[in-house]
Structure 1
Amino acid sequence: MSADRTRHPIRVGVAGWGIPKLSAHAFPVDGSHLERTARVLPMTEVNSSFYRPHKPETWARWAASTPPDFRFAVKIPKAITHEARLAGAGDALDRFLGEAGRLGDRLGPLLVQLPPSLGFDPAVADGFLAGLRVRFDGDVVCEPRHAGWFSAEAEGLLVTHRVARVAADPAPVEGAAEPGGWDGLRYWRMHGSPVMYRSAYEPAALDGLADRLLAESLERPVWCVFDNTADFHAVDDALALLGRIGDAPAPVPPP
C-alpha cells in the first residue's frame, strides 16, 4: 500500500533510544544517542519513567536535544499503576506530570500500562482517569493486560475519558491485539513474536502491519512502538516499517 498525502501522521519508534552497533550505519555519527535517534525516527517511548523519576531539568534537556517535530511518548510510573493500582494516586500524578511536563510541545501520549493482575474496577478506573484528565488534557493510551478491561463497560469508560486502548503484540488476553477505547488515535506496542522482547518480526508481518497503519491513518494519527529490544531488533524493525509506509528517512552513509 502506498503512502497517502492526505493521511494523518504515523509515528514509528522504539522503547528508549539505544542504537545497536549493527544498526549504527542508519544514524548520524555525531551527537548523543537521543540526538542521533531523533534525526532518523519521529518518536521514542520513555520507559525509564516507569521505574524511577527523572529531574525536571533532565526532561527539559531531552526536549532541547530533539527537532521540533519529534515526540516522546511517556510511560506513567509503576508507583501509580502497579503499586497504588490506580487508587489514591493524585500526589504521585502531580509529581510525575510536573517532571514530564518539561518536555513541552515534544510531549506525546502518556502510556498507562497495567499489571496483568489488575482487573477492571469501574469506580477505581473512573476515579483515576477522571483525576488524570483534570491534570492533563493531552493524549492518553492504556495497555490493560487483564481480561476484565475488554468489556463493553470498560470500553465505554475509556471512550468517556478520551483514552485509547493499546493494540499489543503478542496479545496477553483475547481482544488485546486490536486497538480500542477512544478512536481519536491508534497506538501499537510490538513486543516481539513469537518470543516476547526478543524475536524480530518477519517481513510478511511488517507488510501486514504497514497496511493496517496506513489504513488507520486515513482517519486518525497512528503510533507504533517496537519493544523487542532484548536482542536488538527494535531499531531495525522500526526502520523497516518506516520504509514500508513511505516515511523512510534519508539513508545515512556508513562512516
Structure 2
Amino acid sequence: MNDLFASAPHTPGVHIGIGGWTYVPWRGGTFYPVGLVQRRELEYASQQLTSIEINGTYYGAQKPHIYTGWRDATPEGFVFSAKAPKRIVTARKLAGTGGQIEDFIDGISHLGDRLGPLVWQFEAGRRLDRDDLAAFLQLLPAQVNGRRQRHAVEVRDPTCFDAELVALIRQQGIALVYTDASDYPNAADLSGDFVYARLMGSRDQHATGYPADELQQWAARIQRWRKGEDNPDLPHLAAPEPAAAPREVFLYFISAAKHRNPAAARALQQLVDKN
C-alpha cells in the first residue's frame, strides 16, 4: 500500500479508534474525503486512526482471505480489535464452545500482526453462570500462531458484575472492558497488561463528539494507564491493583452520535500525542 493518506507518528502503546469503517454519514467530507472510492476507505481510516474495532464479526465471521486483505490494506503498527461472534457468547453452555472458539480464531488470525484484543461481550439480559464463565475463559488461547493473543470481556449482567468477576479475570490476565454508557454496568478495574475502553457518549452538538475538557480528561487518564497507574476517579468493583509496568491502551468511540466518532478519535489521539 502507499502512504497517500499517511499521518504523523503516534504515541507507542496507545490505540485510539472507532467501531467499523463503513458508515455512509462518514463519506463526502465528514471523515472520508470527497470522491474517495469505498474500497479505499479502510486504507484511509487506518492511516488517520491507530485502531479500529471490528463489530461485524459479532454477526458473522469472514473468510480468511478477507482478513488477509484487511491486513494488507493497513500500515505497520495499526491494529484491529474484534468482537467475538454472537453464536459463541450467547451459547447456553459457554464451556462447550471450544470448537467454535477455535474456528473463529483460526480465521481471524489471518490478520497476522494487525490482530489486537478479542472482545467477548455478554449482552444485557443474559444471566451468566459464574462457574460456566470461568470454564469458558480458560478456553481462550493465550497464543495464536506463535503470537500472544489478548482478550477482553464486557459483562452486562449486573448479578455477575462484582469483585468476584474482577478476581476471576485477573487470574487469566483478561481485561475488563470499561464503558461510559449509563445503560450498562461499568467499572475500570485493571487486569493484565492492557486496558480496553469503549466510549459511548458522543454528542451531536460537539464537533469532536465530546467537549474539549472531557477529551482532555480522557487524555490524562490514558497517560496514567499507559504508566501502569490506576484512575481512581472512575468506578471500580474491587480494590485497585498497585502501580505496575506500563500498560497498552485500546480506546474506541462507539455508537451514540456515530458521525462524530472519527473526529473524537482523532482529537483525543492528538491530545495524547502532544504529551
TM-score bucket of the superposed structures, by smaller chain: 0.7 to 0.9
Within a 5 Å distance, the mapping from 1:1-255 to structure 2 comes to: 9-18=13-22, 19-24=26-31, 32-84=40-92, 86-133=94-141, 136=144, 137-174=148-185, 176=186, 178-192=187-201, 200-219=209-228, 220-228=247-255, 231-246=258-273
Bigger shift: 158-167 or 14-23? 14-23
Task: Tell me how far apart the structure 2 counterparts of residues 28 and 244 of structure 1 sit (CA, whole Å).
Answer: 29
Runs of 4+ in 1 over 4 A off after TM superposition: 25-31, 134-137
**Are the structure 2 counterparts of residues 28 and 131 from structure 1 closer, same or farther at C-alpha, using a change threshold of 3 Å?**
farther
Number of residue pairs the alignment of both structures matches = 237
Task: Tell me how far apart the structure 2 counterparts of residues 215 and 8 of structure 1 sit (CA, whole Å).
Answer: 14
**Are the structure 2 counterparts of residues 68 and 135 from structure 1 closer, same or farther at C-alpha, using a change threshold of 3 Å?**
closer
CA deviation profile, 1:9-45 (whole Å, cap 9, x unmatched): 1110000113443433679957611101111111111
Task: Tell me how far apart the structure 1 counterparts of residues 47 and 274 of structure 2 sit (CA, whole Å).
Answer: 13
Bigger shift: 207-216 or 77-86? 77-86
With structure 1 as the length reference, what TM-score do the two structures score?
Answer: 0.83
With structure 2 as the length reference, what TM-score do the two structures score?
Answer: 0.77
Aligned-partner residue type, residue 116 of structure 1? A
CA contact (8 A) 2:17 2:253 kept: yes
Task: Tell me how far apart the structure 1 counterparts of residues 270 and 35 of structure 2 sit (CA, whole Å).
Answer: 18
**Are the structure 2 counterparts of residues 243 and 53 from structure 1 closer, same or farther at C-alpha, using a change threshold of 3 Å?**
same
Bigger shift: 210-219 or 12-21? 12-21
CA contact (8 A) 1:200 1:228 kept: no
